[in-house]
Amino acid sequence: MGSSGRPKVLQLGLVEHAHETWSSIGEIADIIVPKATNRDELIAECRSGAFDGVKVAYRTFYSVTGLVDTELIAALPSSLRFICHCGAGYDSIDIPACTDRSILVSNTPTAVDDATADLNIWLMLGALRNLSSSMTALRAGTWRGNPPPAFGHDPQGKVLGILGMGGIGRNMAKKALAFGMRIRYYNRTRLAEDLERECEAEFVDFETLLRESDVLSLNLPLNPQTRHSISKPQFAIMKKGIVIVNTARGAVIDEAALVDALADGTVSSVGLDVYENEPEIHPGLVTNPSVLLVPHMGTWTVETQTKMEEWAMGNVRVALAEGRLRSVVPEQKGMAEMWVGL
């Protein structure tokens, strides 16, 4: 509790859009903003006791925390029970380490689905058309380039294989239907029938997905099990000339193996929003004209950022009021009620 007798909330990262909602949290809790401008300073500030008594932390992807790993978690005050992360992907938070410390973590599912799938479609069409080289040529004053690029491809009638059929994957499927694509998917657990029917998607095994897709869209979360899901052995069985789109996390693909697969023609073109070591990008991708690249812009819109902030703040509010989270991460479902009533 703060000196006011109110609970304390630690703000890790900036509030950019949902200012009113954040003010309303400020009416029921003392919000503590760190002075630290980098990770080392933040850890020192934690250890100084500046955040003692904090119950809930609100965190954004771009906060100074860097990875929420064992080092940082050990420094955070023992009073901390909830981390409300503003983002759908939470690979930057070590969930088992939080679980060990009885800290519950939430993300912002559904809020990101439209924006991410929209960019996914844009990257897919751009990769099918091989637009990257002509866009560069135009700015260089050579119109379509000399010689002009080969003709691109239409999505109509092509098989779109979606790996990871969560909210974003299903949103992508529905949008791709409007482009006349045939949808197949692989998910570790097959979807319920109504969800499958809703996006007219056929369940296939992982190998079939790789073998028969014209376009492969990666929409699975990054965790230790999904790291490098697409690597040499997977490229080896793909349909020749496949187009790959990734708006999930860079490390679900082995980036070096992707560069090789582009070089030997296994993969014809790629649309990427995410990279293995952001903000660094493999030089073999940057220099390849068949690679369409954007710098992690999937949710970079006013509307979606606002929705994500609102969602994460909703978790802060429920944590304060009820001792639970609205969207606890799946790994912690079994312990979601541990702080209720305490």
Residue whose C-alpha is closest to residue 50's, from 8, 109, 110, 99: 8
Smallest distance from ligand NAG to CB 220, Å: 8
- Residue 269 binds ligand NAG, judged by CB under 6 A: yes
Q: Which is nearer to ligand NAG, 191 or 312 (CB)?
A: 191
For position 1 contacting ligand NAG by CB under 6 A, the verdict is: no
The answer to the question of residue 149 lying near ligand NAG (CB under 6 A) is yes
User: Which of 65, 108, 171, 187 is close enough to bind ligand NAG by CB under 6 A?
Assistant: 187
Active site residues: 249, 278, 296
289 belongs to the binding site for ligand NAG (CB under 6 A):
yes
Please give the C-alpha separations between residue 324 and each of 4, 65, 84, 191, 328, in angstroms, as whole numbers: 23, 23, 11, 27, 8
Under the binding rule (CB under 6 A), the answer on residue 145 touching ligand NAG is yes
Bond before 279 cis per omega within 30 degrees: yes
Query: Is the CB of residue 227 less than 8 Å from the CB of residue 249?
Result: no
Q: Which of residues 305-334 bind ligand NAG (CB under 6 A)?
A: 330
Quick one: which segment of 72-80, 145-153, 296-304, 311-319 binds ligand NAG (CB under 6 A)?
Answer: 145-153
* 215-218/242-246 β-pairing: parallel
d(CA 278, CA 59) in angstroms, rounded, equals 19
Contact set for ligand NAG, span 158-177 (CB under 6 A): 165-166
Residues binding ligand NAG: number (CB under 6 A):
17
Nearest Cα neighbor of 184 from 205, 168, 155 is 205
25 or 95: CB nearest ligand NAG: 95
Q: Which two tokens stand for residue 272?
A: 């990427």
User: 188's torsion region: left (phi>0), alpha (psi -120 to 50) or beta?
Assistant: alpha
| 191 is an interface residue for ligand NAG by CB under 6 A | yes
Please, what sign has the CA dihedral across residues 170, 174, 177, 179? negative
Smallest distance from the beta carbon of 216 to ligand NAG, in angstroms?
A: 15
Binding residues for ligand NAG, rule: CB under 6 A, are 130, 133, 145, 149-150, 165-166, 187-189, 191, 195, 268-269, 289-290, 330
